[in-house]
Structure 1
Amino acid sequence: MRAQFGLADAPCCDCCVHFCCEACALCQEYKELKARGFDPDLGWQMAAAQNAGAAAYPPAPQQMGR
């Protein structure tokens, strides 16, 4: 989400934030999405349909590679 919206990596890296306090990190992500006009309560499919013009696409399928 940080890369998609161009957010600053401060005061520490995402790995540290999620490791030390996952609940706080998820709360911050929820608030960021709400501030940008998304409704996380709807789930991914409904939010993508609601914001079709906002370029909200699910990630591409991934496969194991060598």
Structure 2
Amino acid sequence: MRAQYNIRGGCCTDCLTHFFCENCGLTQQYRELKHRGFDMSLGWTGNAEKQNQGGVAMVVPTIMT
């Protein structure tokens, strides 16, 4: 998320936050996405469609199996 939205911070602190307090890390990500206008009730696909309708291309990551 930091790279996608050009948010300052470090990989090490992010890793430590998610390792020691996963709920804290997920809450931070949730609040950041909500602040940027994402509607969590729509899910990933719904938000991608919403962003694409506004003329903004949303990068959808490829799932590796």
- Structure 1 unpaired stretches of 5+: none
Q: How many percent identity over aligned positions?
A: 47
Give the corresponding residue for 1:21. Answer: 21
Q: For each residue in 1:12-47, what CA deviation from the matched residue of structure 2 results, as whole angstroms up to 9, or x when unmatched?
A: 621001011100110110000011111122111111
User: How do residues 1-66 of structure 1 correspond to structure 2 at under 5 angstroms?
Assistant: 1-9=1-9, 13-52=13-52, 53-62=55-64
Aligned length: 62
Larger Rg: 1
Q: Please state how far the C-alpha of 1:61 moved relative to its aligned partner.
A: 4.8
The TM-score normalised by the length of structure 2 is: 0.79
For residue 50 of structure 2, what is the amino acid of its counterpart?
A: Q
> Distance between the aligned counterparts of 1:21 and 1:56, measured in 2?
28
d(CA) in 2 for partners of 1:24 and 1:61? Answer: 24
4+ residue segments displaced more than 6 Å: none
